[in-house]
Amino acid sequence: MDSGQPTPPRKARHRAHHRPARPHAVLLRLSGEEKAAIDVAAQAAGLTPTGYAAKAAVSAASAGQAPGGVTGDLRELQHELFAARRAVVMFGNNVNQAAAAFNATGQLPDWAADAIRLSASAVARLDEVISLIDRRLR
């Protein structure tokens, strides 16, 4: 039955309380935009803004996330990708040198087999990094 009256917003629930009460408090200083973002997220989660901020902070800290996201994880992945890029560039140089030697002598240099193994290893490592990124984004 619609009485034409807007439904009142549901009351936010509190996080589970501990008895005795939690002994520590953390004061947050927020800009108006930050406070508004927390208010909206808290309302969507059905929590008070304080309860939401506490759950989010504890969850992020427990997961080892840096404030603002996964900066540390991204830095680690960036280093892995830089290493893979270097390996691909070196492989490209090796291919050019092997092609030049083959064109000059009709035979591949002895080191070509090692270069192919190393490049296959670099591609496998790159695949691992891509899989790791994929898992973390899910």
Q: Is the whole-model pTM more than 0.75? A: no
Which one of 42, 62, 82 terminates a domain? 62
The pLDDT tens digits of the residues spanning 50-79 come to 888 888 888 877 776 656 555 566 777 778
Region class of 31: left (phi > 0), else alpha (psi between -120 and 50), else beta: beta
| Dihedral pair phi/psi, residue 66, rounded to 5° | -75, 155
Mean pLDDT of the chain: 79
Q: What is the pLDDT, as a whole number, of residue 73?
A: 66
Residues 80, 108: one domain?
A: yes
Residue 9 lies in a domain: no
In a domain, 40, yes or no: yes
Report pLDDT for 72: 60
Q: Give yes or no: residues 77 and 99 share one domain.
A: yes
- Residue 20, in any domain of the structure: no
The reply to whether omega before 9 is within 30° of 0 (cis) is no
Same domain, 83 and 45: no
Q: How many domains does the chain have?
A: 2
Its domain, for residue 36, covers: 32-62
